[in-house]
Every structure is written in C-alpha cells, then in structure tokens.
Amino acid sequence: MTRHNAHKASLNGLYVITDEKLINETNFEFAIESVLRGGARIIQYRDKSDNAEKKLKQASALQSLCHKYQAISIINDDIELAKAVNADGVHLGKDDANISKARQILGQDSIVGVSCYNDIPLALKAQKNLASYVAFGAIFSSPTKPNTVVAGLDILLTARKQLTLPICTIGGISEKNIQQVIRHGADMAAVISSVFSAKDIQQATMNLNQYF
C-alpha cells in the first residue's frame, strides 16, 4: 500500500483546525497535544497572520506532535510551509494553488484536501483531479465564520451518492450535532471553537471523538 493510499484509508474521524485567535501562542503546543490526547486523528494548521517565523515554529511543532501520536498533519493553504515542516499534506481553498502543483512540490503521496463549500460540481472536479478528500461547509452557522453561507446537511446526502472520496464537514459542528453529520455521510468532522474555546480542551475533544 502506498503512503497516499494508507493516508486515504486514515482520512476519517475528528479533524481539528487551529485558530490563532483562540490559541494563546505560549500555550500552542499544550493545546495541540491536548487535542491529540483527546483522540483527534487529523490536525490542520491554519494561521492567517503574516508572522512567517511564528508559523514555521508552530507548524513544525504541530507536525512533530502529530507524528508522535500517529495523527495526520495538514497545513492550510501554504504548500511551501507544508514542505518545510514535512507535513502529511495541504488543504486548498477555491483560490489556492491547484492539486497537481501541490503534489509536484510535496510529492505524489501527499494528502491534498480541497474546500468545496456548497458546490458539488467543484467536488466532482476535485475528485477528477485526484484530490485526497473534499470538504463541505459551513454545514451549520459557524462562530468563527459568521458570514459564511450555510450549506446544510442535505448536501452530504447528495455528495455521498456522487463521490467516492472521503468527505469532511466543517462549520458550527459541536457535540450537539456531530452525530447528524456522521449519519448524513461525513467521514470527518472538522471543529475549531468546539475544542479550543473549551475550558478543558482534551475532554472536549474526547466528547466529540466518541462518536467515531
């Protein structure tokens, strides 16, 4: 089994995304290790700031911790950063570099996820271009992106019928509704504030992870 196929088989479970506004810089590694101890299987490093030094340091620490806990490390948008820290892959938005370019830089076995919002044709295009997984959302209204268009649960039923790729969901997912996205066909449920806004990050992660 190639590394890419092995990763594809592992693309399920709780998918945690970092947020520089919710994680204190001095507690970054503690927060990441807490979600890993809580059972997160995939962690995406996302930081929209311009602090390249901080991002390199944090992404490297995240990759090392993911390796320690046998979890998957993903970098949001930044292919060069993903290469620099030897992350397992990258997550691309609609306007980011294309899938083939990412694989040229990171290697053919790398994971490349694609945001598809509420757009099934975009997901089908990503599948044709050999994306590793696609992400739909916001499934519910999201506290971290309050102005995002809500895709709703029904898009998952449609996607499940038309796609063979693993499906990730994002947007407003919490312990109250995570079972709904799983029942509607999601392989992965991405969370941000549901864990990093919690008083006990590890316990909040465990509470969500129990449904997978």
In whole angstroms, what is the distance from residue 40 CA to residue 205 CA?
Answer: 7
Contact status, residue 90 vs residue 79, Cβ threshold 8 Å: yes
54 is catalytic: no
CB-based contact 79:105 (threshold 8 Å): yes
145 is catalytic: yes
**Is 41 noted as a catalytic residue in this protein?**
no
CB within 8 Å of 115: residues ≥ 6 apart: 91, 92, 93, 94, 134, 135
Q: In 3D, which of 3, 18, 2 has the Cα closest to residue 78?
A: 18
The one catalytic residue among 54, 145, 160, 174? 145
Per-position b or e across 100-120, b if 16+ CB within 10 A of its CB = eebbeebeeebbbbbbbbbbb
Give 189's DSSP letter: E
Q: Which of 34, 110, 115, 142 is catalytic?
A: 115
Choose, from 41, 46, 55, 103, the residue flagged as catalytic.
46
First to last CA, the chain: 24
Q: Which residues are tagged catalytic?
A: 46, 115, 145
